[in-house]
Amino acid sequence: MISRPTPYKAIVIGGSAGSFPVITKVLSSLKTPYRIPLILCLHRLKHVRSGFVEALSIKSNIKVVEPFDKQTIKPGFAYLAPANYHLSIELGNHFSLSTEEMVSYSRPSIDITFESCGFAYKQKLLGVILSGANKDGAHGIRKVKAYGGTTLVQDPMESKVATMPTAAIESHKPNHIYSSQKIIDFLNLINR
């Protein structure tokens, strides 16, 4: 069988309320070596600086880290947006952090991370919006698609809290609307 390199340079995933079980399931179901870096922007408590990485790491097949400012993005890692910072991507394949104003009452903001990933990776990006309780991400995922990327939204019927995926579907026409199991299958399928 001829294996072709994956068309994706990065996968960006956004979620808030109800997304944690989906993320942990995704991280524990990825077949290693997983060659595409994952960038996770999840709403989280501002003052709980530690513990989240550890909680996500327990069952994860790939290493979960909170990136430092200007840290290089590498395959085999899931990068979690740190509490109280916005996470963006710079050309030259590294992160940068910012303490700019909150967007939709959120820092990190899914809109900011998605838009910045869209700008940096263009058609080589997969954007995924999961369960969540507000509309952050709806603008960002629309931009991901506008920059040529592929978009995937968790089926609102299956999402614990449907506000975020519903807003994402209303803001643009996603390439895929999948259940969490289909999301996992898809993420494994593109890792070739």
Partner 1 sequence: MPEQNQGVWNTQRNRPDIRLGFDELNYIIKIIKEVADFDFSHYAASSFQRRVYRVLEIYPFKSVQELVNRLRTDAQFTAEFIEEVTVNTTELFRDPEFWQEIRDSVLPSLAQHRNIHIWHAGCSTGEEVYSMAITLAEAGLLDRVKITATDINETVIKTAARGHYPERLFKLYDNNYRIFGGKKELSDYYKIENGSIRMNPELLANVKFRHFNLVGGEVFSKFDLVLCRNVMIYFDKVLQDQVSKLFYSSLFKYGFLAVGSKESLIWCSVSHKFKTISNDNKIYQARV
As annotated, the active-site residues are 16, 43, 136
Q: Can residue 7 be called a binding residue for partner 1 (CB under 8 A)?
A: no
User: Residues 102, 158, 172, 191: which binds partner 1 (CB under 8 A)?
Assistant: 102
What is the bridge-based pairing of β-strands 150-154 and 125-129? parallel
Residue window 121-140: x/- pattern of binding to partner 1, with contact defined by CB under 8 A: ------------------x-
Q: Going residue by residue from 49 to 88, which x/- string records binding to partner 1, judged by CB under 8 A?
A: x----------------xxxxxx----------x-xx--x
The single residue among 25, 75, 119, 158 that binds partner 1, judged by CB under 8 A, is 119
Residue 150's closest CA among 105, 117, 185?
117
**Residues from 131 through 190 that contact partner 1 (CB under 8 A):** 139
Distance CA 20, CA 55 (A): 10
**Alpha-carbon torsion (133, 157, 181, 36), positive or negative:** negative
**Which residue number, 105 or 157, has a Cβ lying nearer to partner 1?**
105
Q: Assign residue 172 a region: left if phi > 0, alpha if psi is -120 to 50, beta otherwise?
A: beta
75 cis-preceded (ω within 30 degrees of 0): no
Phi, psi of 150 (to 5 degrees): -95, 140
Q: Is residue 48 within the footprint of partner 1 (CB under 8 A)?
A: no
Query: In this structure, are strands 77-80 and 63-65 parallel, antiparallel, or unpaired?
Result: parallel
Nearer to partner 1, 3 or 50 (CB): 50
Measure the CA–CA gap between 109 and 84, rounded to whole angstroms.
9
* Nearest-angstrom CA–CA distance, 135 and 16: 10
Is position 89 an interface residue for partner 1 (rule: CB under 8 A)?
A: yes
Total residues binding partner 1 (CB under 8 A): 31
Residue 176 CB, nearest approach to partner 1 (Å)? 23
Interface positions with partner 1 (CB under 8 A): 47, 49, 66-71, 82, 84-85, 88-91, 96-105, 111-112, 116, 119-120, 139
